[in-house]
């Protein structure tokens, strides 16, 4: 895993620019906003109404990220901009492709730079220490503020009496990992898990609007702190999610449960990707106490709904901390990265492929899918030297295909696109950021130049990087698409030429609307227009050459309050259907049943 002796950083890479482009890499982001309280109880199913005010959510800070890199003069910090609706956002789902300021200091090479934003502020609350017994893990994500993509933060850590997780009241059959009762589509009283869309949810539908296919509400007994919702994965005619102690598949047309796989303890990690033959590996805790390790794995076949091999992740050294874990799949390989070394296993049979690498650099974060990209921390004379490198690894062996070294102090924070490879990196000491595009051999292709600030929605975690935890970025072979910062309730989607790093065109979302790129559909960009105060969201298609957006799916205005109320939402557009899922489920509270998944279609 060491750098080839003859390889040097690409010309024009992370050093001083020869000809600084005007405006650097982006406008400075606004300061972080104070945290907000979680959203109020939702309207029971079957009673949608237009919201009088935008729903509230957890904190949206920190705002956008560090300033554009490598030493260009910047403008003074902007004032904070109000979010479009006041609710948090989340990491993007799978197959989609990341955030805070203050004062100025002397930047590299003599150019003044603005400072990198400070750490996020967790929500204020009760007197219990959220970090008692284990590191806090940031669940879900919030509106990532400007390009550094940090997002509002909701700390979901268990602090139950005696170290045990305490489920809240629910009508679930059990909480010990046994199969849960299969649910059919809800009746009009909303008492079931999957609610067919041909009831009063569509009664207020107007001409030209598409319909709600189904709505799912939570019926599982959860710990008082709730549970993270992992997914969504698609296989055939089902959409699959993992939550608490069960992996469950639902029919994409009606939301009826197709199968479920129970696990013994709380699910604590899951990949964004699947193998080519629709398999995943999930991780669950070693027991039900607050101090449990996240070190148990199980393979699951999404085609058959059958659980496969189980395995405990072996420690790779005395400082191998497994309180938090990230799983990434590339080909038939699943990597398990955590605070310390990383491991990789075969998804087919669970055998170990690689663990601690030889050399001074060790992978501590991965991006996966069609290829396996490792971000590695390096040491010098057995001491951390604050340097990193990126490598493409052969998933079947762990051997390096190329190495891209970063100068000391620079860290890769997000991977905006895997192929083509687009990375977002920061230098905290120099308060700078950079977006670079790499070629297939690991050399630099270009870096972005712009005066804009951008606002994808990404996850933020203290321990894990979650390299692919963003929604709001997309790319084709020659173009990168990013959403600008929301100003006055609206934003643009900007297309950048990956060969030059310069802007090609931009598409405005419209008055009081925000728009997020999701993915490519042939030659067109698919984007999500989020709901406004008085209108439903929409899926739109924009030609990759630029031009007017055409509506692919128009969600009803009558259900905009439900669409707007999802907590730490995850989104996906698949086979003509738009899926909206809560990234964090809080469980039943009193008479309110929390909505967990909403699906629109023709």
CATH at residue 202: 2.130.10.10
Q: Would you say residue 460 lies in a domain? A: yes
pLDDT value of position 447: 96
pLDDT value of position 318: 73
pLDDT > 50? residue 119 = no
Mean pLDDT of the chain: 74
More confident residue, 517 or 177: 517
| Residue 256 pLDDT class (50, 70, 90 cuts) | very high
DSSP letters spanning 239-280: EEEEETTEEEEEETTT--EEEEEE-SS-EEE--S---TTSEE
**Both tokens assigned to 174:** 């059990």
pLDDT > 60? residue 150 = no
Q: Would you say residue 586 lies in a domain? A: yes
More confident residue, 318 or 329: 329
Calculate ∠ Cα 374-380-382, nearest 5°: 100
- Count CA atoms closer than 13 A to 362's CA, side-chain side: 24
The answer to whether the beta carbons of residues 483 and 516 sit under 8 Å apart is yes
pLDDT value of position 384: 65
CA distances from 591 to 43, 202, 398, 587, 594 (A): 10, 23, 51, 11, 10
Cα dihedral 551, 556, 557, 559, rounded to 10, equals -140
pLDDT value of position 464: 72
The owner of tokens 């849960």 is 180
Reply yes or no: is the peptide bond before residue 62 cis, omega within 30 of 0: yes
**Both tokens assigned to 406:** 């970063």
Question: Distance (Å, rounded) from C-alpha 166 to C-alpha 185?
Answer: 28
**Both tokens assigned to 253:** 């047309």
| Residue 587 pLDDT class (50, 70, 90 cuts) | low
Lowest pLDDT segment from 31-45, 194-208, 284-298: 31-45
Q: Would you say residue 15 lies in a domain? A: no
SS3 sequence of 97-122? CCCCCCCEEECHHHCEEECCCCCCCC
Q: Would you say residue 300 lies in a domain? A: yes
**Residue 440 neighbours by CB under 8 Å, 6+ apart:** none
pLDDT in tens, 450-493: 989 999 998 665 667 899 999 999 999 999 999 999 988 899 99
Question: Distance (Å, rounded) from C-alpha 169 to C-alpha 160?
Answer: 15
The owner of tokens 């010309």 is 11
CA distances from 27 to 22, 147, 309, 496, 585 (A): 11, 10, 49, 16, 35
pLDDT > 90? residue 310 = yes
The answer to whether the beta carbons of residues 428 and 409 sit under 8 Å apart is yes
Q: Would you say residue 22 lies in a domain? A: no
Q: Would you say residue 238 lies in a domain? A: yes
| Selection from 62-71, 176-185, 199-208, 413-422 with the highest mean pLDDT | 413-422
Element (H, E) at 563: helix 560-563
pLDDT in tens, 51-82: 333 333 333 333 344 444 443 333 333 333 33
Element (H, E) at 561: helix 560-563
Total structural domains in the chain? Answer: 1
Q: Would you say residue 570 lies in a domain? A: yes
Q: Would you say residue 39 lies in a domain? A: no
The answer to whether the beta carbons of residues 153 and 140 sit under 8 Å apart is no
The answer to whether the beta carbons of residues 524 and 543 sit under 8 Å apart is yes
What's the domain range around 375?
Answer: 67-601
pLDDT > 70? residue 44 = no
Reply yes or no: is the peptide bond before residue 420 cis, omega within 30 of 0: yes
Lowest pLDDT segment from 26-40, 410-424, 444-458, 555-569: 26-40
pLDDT value of position 328: 98
Above pLDDT 70, what percent of the chain?
Answer: 64
Distance of CA 293 to the CA centre of its chain: 23
The answer to whether the beta carbons of residues 483 and 514 sit under 8 Å apart is yes
pLDDT > 80? residue 213 = yes
pLDDT value of position 548: 92
Closest to 326 (Cα-Cα) out of 520, 487, 91, 553: 91
The answer to whether the beta carbons of residues 219 and 184 sit under 8 Å apart is no
Question: Distance (Å, rounded) from C-alpha 128 to C-alpha 119?
Answer: 21
**Both tokens assigned to 137:** 């893990």
**Both tokens assigned to 556:** 């009803």
Closest to 254 (Cα-Cα) out of 240, 241, 237: 237
State the first-to-last Cα distance of the chain, in angstroms, to the nearest integer: 50
Q: What is the mean pLDDT of residues 317-327?
A: 81
Q: What is the mean pLDDT of residues 17-25?
A: 37
| Residue 199 pLDDT class (50, 70, 90 cuts) | low
| Selection from 101-105, 141-145, 435-439, 581-585 with the highest mean pLDDT | 435-439
pLDDT > 50? residue 15 = no
Q: Is 162 helix (H, G, I), strand (E, B) or coil?
A: helix
Count other Cβ atoms within 10 Å, centred on residue 158.
22
């Amino acid at each position: 895993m060491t750098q080839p002796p003859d390889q040097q950083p690409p010309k024009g890479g992370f050093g001083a620019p020869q000809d600084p482009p005007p405006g650097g890499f982006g406008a400075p982001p606004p300061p972080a906003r104070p945290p907000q309280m979680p959203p109020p109880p939702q309207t029971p199913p079957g009673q949608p109404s237009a919201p009088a005010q935008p729903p509230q959510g957890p904190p949206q800070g920190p705002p956008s990220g560090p300033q554009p890199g490598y030493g260009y003069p910047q403008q003074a910090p902007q004032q904070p901009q109000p979010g479009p609706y006041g609710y948090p956002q989340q990491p993007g789902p799978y197959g989609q492709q990341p955030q805070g300021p203050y004062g100025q200091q002397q930047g590299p090479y003599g150019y003044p730079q603005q400072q990198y934003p400070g750490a996020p502020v967790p929500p204020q609350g009760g007197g219990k220490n959220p970090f008692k017994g284990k590191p806090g893990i940031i669940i879900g994500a919030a509106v990532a503020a400007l390009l550094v993509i940090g997002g509002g933060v909701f700390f979901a850590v268990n602090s139950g009496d005696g170290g045990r997780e305490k489920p809240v009241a629910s009508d679930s059959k059990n909480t010990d990992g046994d199969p849960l009762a299969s649910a059919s589509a809800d009746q009009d009283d909303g008492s079931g898990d999957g609610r067919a869309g041909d009831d009063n949810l569509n009664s207020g539908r107007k001409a030209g609007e598409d319909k709600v296919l189904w709505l799912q509400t939570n019926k599982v007994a959860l710990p008082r702190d709730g549970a993270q919702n992992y997914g969504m994965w698609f296989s055939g005619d089902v959409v699959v999610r993992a939550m608490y102690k069960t992996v469950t598949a639902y029919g994409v047309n009606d939301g009826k449960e197709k199968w479920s796989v129970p696990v013994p303890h709380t699910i604590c990690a899951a990949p964004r990707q699947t193998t080519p033959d629709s398999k995943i590996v999930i991780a669950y805790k070693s027991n039900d106490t607050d101090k449990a390790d996240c070190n148990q794995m199980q393979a699951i076949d999404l085609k058959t709904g059958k659980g496969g091999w189980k395995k405990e992740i072996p420690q790779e050294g005395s400082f191998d901390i497994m309180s938090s874990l990230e799983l990434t799949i590339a080909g038939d390989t699943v990597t398990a990265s955590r605070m310390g070394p990383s491991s990789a296993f075969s998804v087919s049979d669970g055998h170990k492929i690689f663990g601690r690498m030889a050399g001074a650099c060790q992978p501590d974060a991965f991006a996966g899918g069609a290829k396996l990209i490792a971000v590695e921390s390096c040491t010098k004379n057995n001491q951390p030297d604050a340097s990193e490198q990126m490598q493409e690894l052969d998933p079947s062996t762990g051997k390096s295909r190329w190495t891209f070294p970063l100068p000391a102090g620079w860290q890769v924070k997000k991977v905006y696109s895997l192929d083509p490879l687009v990375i977002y990196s920061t230098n905290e000491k120099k308060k700078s950021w950079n977006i670079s595009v790499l070629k297939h051999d690991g050399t630099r292709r270009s870096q972005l130049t712009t005066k804009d600030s951008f606002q994808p929605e990404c996850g933020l975690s203290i321990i894990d990087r979650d390299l692919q935890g963003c929604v709001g970025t997309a790319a084709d072979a020659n173009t990168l698409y990013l959403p600008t910062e929301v100003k006055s309730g609206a934003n643009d989607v900007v297309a950048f030429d990956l060969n030059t790093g310069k802007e090609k065109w931009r598409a405005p979302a419209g008055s009081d609307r925000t728009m997020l790129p999701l993915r490519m559909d042939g030659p067109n960009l698919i984007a999500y227009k989020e709901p406004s105060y008085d209108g439903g969201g929409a899926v739109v298609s924009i030609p990759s050459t630029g031009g007017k957006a055409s509506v692919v799916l128009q969600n009803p205005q009558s259900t905009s309050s439900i669409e707007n109320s999802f907590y730490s939402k995850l989104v996906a557009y698949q086979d003509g259907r738009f899926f909206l899922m809560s990234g964090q489920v809080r469980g039943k509270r009193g008479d309110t049943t929390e909505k967990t998944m909403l699906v629109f279609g023709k």
